[in-house]
Amino acid sequence: MATSFFEGPEKKVEWVVVDGFPSLRSLGDERWEGIVRAARAQIISKLSSERCDAYLLSESTLLVYDEHATLITCGRTRLVDAVECALETIPPQAIAFLVLERKNEHFPREQPTDFATDARRLSELLPGRALRFGAEHSHAIELFHTLRPYEPDAEDTTLEVLMHGIAEAANPFRGDGGSDALARARSVGLGNVIPGFAVDDHAFTPAGYSLNALRGPHYFTFHVTPEDVGSYASFETNVDHRADPELVLRVVEPFRPQAFDVFAYAPDGEALSLEVPGYVLHQHVTAPVCGYGVSFLHFCRPAAGATGATPIALG
C-alpha cells in the first residue's frame, strides 16, 4: 500500500452475562483498559450515566453496562484478542449471548486476520455459528453468534449505519487534532442527531473524529474516517429506531455517502424495511439470531455524472 489510508470499517463484539454474574461495570477501569489493550487500542476518555460507562478509544468505542458490554474497534485492531482477554475474567459459562461482527474492509490484505479465522478462534471458546449478511462481491457483514438459548429484552434494539465514500462531506473532520479541529468537527452537529444526550468527543491527529453520547440507558456513537482513500463514517445506537423512522435520514444527511449499510437488531425476530430518499436499496438480507430479527440493508446512490479516475501512487 503506497497510499496513506486508515481502515474505518469496524469489528464489533457484544456479550451479555448470565443473571447473577457480578456487574461488568464493577470490573473497573484498569481491567477494561487491559481488555482494550489486548485489541491493540487505548482508552482516551470516559463518560458515565447512571446505567453505562462509555469509553472513547483510540480506535472507536467501549460501552459497559452492568449485564452487557459492547466493544467496537477499527483500524488494524485485533478484537478477538480482547474477547480472549475478557474471558479470562468472565468464564465462558457466564456468557448468556455473544455476537461478533466484521464489516468487509476496504483494505483486507492489511488486516492481521480474516473473519473466518476470528470466528473459528471464538468457536473454540464458545459454541457458535457464522453467517454472512450481503454478497461476497459487495458490501457485507459477517457475524458469529453463540448457540445458547437466549431471549432478548423487549426494548433491546440496535441500529448501525455504516457510510462509505463520504469524501465530499469530510472537510470538517480533516483537522489536525487541535482545538480548532474539534470546533470544526462539532459544527456539523452530530451530537444533536438525537437530542438531550451528554456528549464526549475527540478530534484525532492527523485526522478523524469520534463521539460517544449517553442519556440514561441509551447511547449513540459516531466515528469518522475523513481520509480521501477509504473515507467512512459509522453510527450506532440502542435508541429504539422503530419509533424514529427519520433517524437514518438524519444520520446519513451530513455525510452524503456514496453507499451505506443499515444493520439492525430488533427483539421478537422483527425484520426492518426502509426507504431512503436519493438512494436505491441494492441488498436486503434478514435472519433470526438468538431471538433477534437481524436485518442488513445496503443502499447506493445513483451516479450523478462521470467523474475522473483516481491516481495511485507507485512511489
Applying CB under 8 A, the residues found at the interface with its own copies are: 1-3, 106-109, 111, 114-116, 119-120, 123, 128-133, 135-139, 142-143, 164-165, 229-230, 232, 258-259, 271, 273, 280-287, 294-297, 300-303, 305-314
Question: What minimum distance in Å lies between the beta carbon of 47 and its own copies?
Answer: 30
Question: What minimum distance in Å lies between the beta carbon of 59 and its own copies?
Answer: 19
Residues 97 and 68: their CA atoms lie apart, in Å, by 9
**In 187-246, which residue ranges form alpha helices assigned H by DSSP?**
none
Question: 199 or 229: whose CB is closer to its own copies?
Answer: 229
Query: Around Cβ 77, how many Cβ atoms within 10 Å?
Result: 25
Question: 18 or 280: whose CB is closer to its own copies?
Answer: 280
Question: What minimum distance in Å lies between the beta carbon of 102 and its own copies?
Answer: 11
CA distances from 118 to 17, 79, 102, 114, 268 (A): 21, 9, 10, 6, 28
Buried b vs exposed e over 176-185: b needs ≥16 C-beta within 10 Å?
eeeeebeebb
Question: What minimum distance in Å lies between the beta carbon of 211 and its own copies?
Answer: 22
Question: Is the CB of residue 38 less than 8 Å from the CB of residue 57?
Answer: no
Question: 20 or 309: whose CB is closer to its own copies?
Answer: 309
Intra-chain end-to-end CA distance of the chain, in Å: 10
Question: What minimum distance in Å lies between the beta carbon of 273 and its own copies?
Answer: 8
Query: Around Cβ 126, how many Cβ atoms within 10 Å?
Result: 20
Question: 168 or 176: whose CB is closer to its own copies?
Answer: 168
Question: 28 or 311: whose CB is closer to its own copies?
Answer: 311
**Angle (nearest 5°) at CA 262 between 159 and 10:** 80
Question: What minimum distance in Å lies between the beta carbon of 168 and its own copies?
Answer: 12
Question: 149 or 308: whose CB is closer to its own copies?
Answer: 308
Q: What are phi and psi of 226, to 5 degrees?
A: -90, -5
Question: Is the CB of residue 73 less than 8 Å from the CB of residue 105?
Answer: no
